[in-house]
A and B are shown apart, each in its own frame.
Chain A
Amino acid sequence: MFEAVLLTVITAATPLLIAAIGELVVERSGVLNLGVEGMMIMGAVIGFAIANQTGSGTLGVIGAIAAGMAMSALFGFLVLVLVANQVATGLALTILGLGLSGMIGEAYIGVPGLRIPELYIPILSDIPFIGPVFFQQDAIVYIGFALIIGVAYFLFRTRAGLILRSVGDNHGSAHALGYSVLKIRFMAVLFGGACAGLAGAYMSLAYTPQWVENMTAGRGWIALALVVFASWLPFRVIIGAYLFGAVSVLNLHAQAIGLGVPSQFLSSLPYLATIGVLVLISANRRLTLVNTPACLGKPFVPDR
């Protein structure tokens, strides 16, 4: 029983984890992209469509990543090159993604989907309990963990990561030192788009292998909240994602047990938890201020 619960927690947490780590990199560079939900849903529908047409899950995943990147490139062009307002553009991106995905996905409603296969890691997957939970998952779950470790290493151990953090901390100084603020931010935005697209692919190709309109159901927003929850530190994203994953599957299991609580209340739990956690986090200003990228959401116009 516990093993089964843990398995569902992992599948619920993975899309949150991947979308959040992408947005974390974007925000570390000083850009606030509120369009995660829109990029995710586009990843979900394009991934499903391509996998359905070609019969290849891998091609579907690649297509989803490309779709997320295309959406983020549009966002990057608007807010970095044309210096549009980041909040408004991000919201517009979400609305665009939801609408466009509904249109593209119309033909795929009710079409049986394709699930990307599980990869059993040799030897490790044979360990009792730990094996089935952690080492008999599909590739995207592993990629999610690799992304967290990779991003942490990149941000805090490499020169490129240092430059990216410096751009988010003080874009004026970074520019004065001769770094191309806009180029670095654009790359970060593209990475965020790729992650959101991948998270979307996980939704339509692994979590529930089918296309349902609006199937990301606010997970992009939770991913955004997770970045704040993690106070912009990669490893804390894991804790946050699993906490939220656990809260959202609690709903299903509580219903299965037959708990006398209305299901509507249980399904609203992840969102209530998001609000609660954000309030708690912002109450501790010391903690957030130290890691918050100082230039988050501020537009940059080079004076040259």
Chain B
Amino acid sequence: MGTENHSEVDTASAPFARSGKDKLLDAQGLTKRFGDILANDAVDLTINKGEIHALLGENGAGKSTLVKMFYGSLEPDGGEIWWDGQKVAIDNPAAARELGIGMVFQHFSLFEALNVVENIALALPNPGNMKDLAKRIETVSREYGLPLNPSDIVADLPVGIRQRIEIVRCLLQEPRLIIMDEPTSVLTPQEADQLFLTLQRLASEGCAVLYISHRLEEVQRICHHATILRHGQVVNECDPTKETPATLASMMVGAEVIAVNAAAQKPAIGDIRLGLHKLSAPAATPFATALNNISLELRAGEVVAIAGVAGNGQGELFDAISGEMRVAPDMILLDGAPCGAKGINWRRKKNAAFVPEERLGHGAVPGMKLSQNIVLTRHSTGDKLVNGGMVSTANAGEMEQRIKQAFDVRMSHDDPEARSLSGGNLQKFVVGRELDRQPGVLVINQPTWGVDAGAAALIRQAIIDLARSGSAVLVISQDLDEIFEIADKIAVISRGFLSEPEPAADMTRERVGLLMAGGAETQGEVA
């Protein structure tokens, strides 16, 4: 996954030398406090014209808080913002847009029930006539290589296109600074390359970009300057082209990040533990994806990863395998036993474990204590958590302690409510809860979504260790770095079709990207 594969992207040639003259945005001592927590502590940040500026940091380092102050959706408690040499107060997003600050959000700020033109019109102060706006959208989007059909309803569009809408919406405001919060987390590698070309073109036209990303390789490739935040403070500034992903990561974490060790033991491949046979299911809602003829064999000792862009049937596939969605009995076999029509508990008793994508609300009940959340998934798998209909709080508490220690779950007091944990800690908990059982089959959807580097490494290592101890693991993920790090075999899901799994060693990012963009579909249709 080196840079050499992306020769069409010009590697970080700064068009503007970094000097004080071209300052576009200059933040001095920005401070923001939420209750007892200092989210931003006297942050200084300077962005020059025509610069792609990376903002790096772990989860909770204060990146989002900082950019929200630039975009006017949060009010600073202290400090000053200078824009083009003038001191400004950015009271609301409309004021930010008036200055020429645009934002592309991490969780899309689009309206699903509305069409493309309506979505864009909502962000413009004077959108004018809808027909004229539609024409403008077509021209601008084509010009930047991001073609859009103005009358499409957003709910029907894949995430890659949705992001285009956000970017075109930004471009129509003729911005001088575009803030992008994790823009590539939902894109195929090819779509990401297209985005980088667009960003470089914008930078060459003098527009500045503030780029937030967890993916250090792309930061290295396209960014001219980087500011690193830790615990709400600026801890470092650097030229990312002169760093490596490893040095950038250690600046973010403040310590060396342990590399995941997948090759420790070559997997000894055993029997088929989980088999999918022509698994098909219709779409349950207009916004869902139908599953088409999915076949897969998961053997003991291996990690099989399913790559794919969000919304291509991953959630539906997970629901079918876990038993949240029932299908015909023979479509799913657990250790040879047909279970497509069985419930989730039956499958758990067959030594399978499931970790859904959404940790808060699906993986854990927000208002319940961790020990109570443990009982919810492990009540009937022989852990003595329920005796004669009564819950054993002692045993649940003991298990909570065990998981907390094994997975380094940090909490302010003992046995807190699930909602009080930070995202990374809660993810460690919901993964640890299932791994603690040493399940024979583990199915896990997005194991490290939105989790910082340290926690992600811990979870990935635990997944590999489980497989090496003889279990079968199915990982559904949108993060290609993660997939290449941990998978023995890789399959790609696209519009509900699954490609044939291939050994990870034979796969390239380009091939995965092509399968994501529809190759899996044609392969699935032939099969």
Contacts and interface: CB of A to CB of B under 8 A. Distances in A.
Contacts of A162: 114, 118, 121-122
B75 A170 contact: no
B368 interface: no
Nearest to B110: A173
A215 B358 CA distance: 49
Contacts of A286: 285-286
B109 to A, nearest CB: 4
A303 B284 CA distance: 34
Interface in B148-205: 155
Count class of interface residues, chain B:
20 to 34
A105 interface: no
B116 to A, nearest CB: 13
A188 interface: no
A263 interface: no
A291 interface: yes
A169 B122 contact: no
A291 B113 contact: yes
A65 to B, nearest CB: 30
A37 B155 CA distance: 35
Interface in A275-304: 285-286, 289-291, 293-294, 303-304
B94 interface: yes
B32 to A, nearest CB: 11
A165 interface: yes
Contacts of B108: 173
Interface string A136-173: 00000000000000000000000100110110011011
A178 B74 CA distance: 11
Contacts of A170: 109-112
A177 interface: yes
From B94, B109, B113, B114, residue with most partner A Cβ within 10 Å: B113
A162 B117 CA distance: 11
B286 A290 contact: yes
Given A166-B122, A290-B286, A304-B73, A176 B109 contact: yes
B92 A173 contact: no
A173 B166 CA distance: 12
A258 B242 CA distance: 94
Given A166-B122, A178-B94, A304 B75 contact: yes
Contacts of A163: 122
Contact of B111 (A159, A169, A303): A169
Contact of B92 (A169, A178, A290, A294): A178
B449 interface: no
B171 to A, nearest CB: 16
A172 B113 contact: no
A146 B370 CA distance: 56
B16 interface: no
Interface of B: 72-75, 92-94, 97, 105, 108-114, 118, 121-123, 127, 155, 284-287
20 contacts: A159-B127, A165-B113, A166-B111, A169-B111, A170-B110, A173-B110, A174-B111, A176-B73, A176-B105, A176-B109, A177-B123, A178-B97, A285-B284, A285-B285, A286-B285, A289-B286, A289-B287, A303-B74, A304-B73, A304-B74
Closest A-B pairs by Cβ, 9 of them: A178-B93, A173-B109, A178-B94, A169-B111, A169-B113, A176-B109, A178-B92, A166-B111, A170-B111
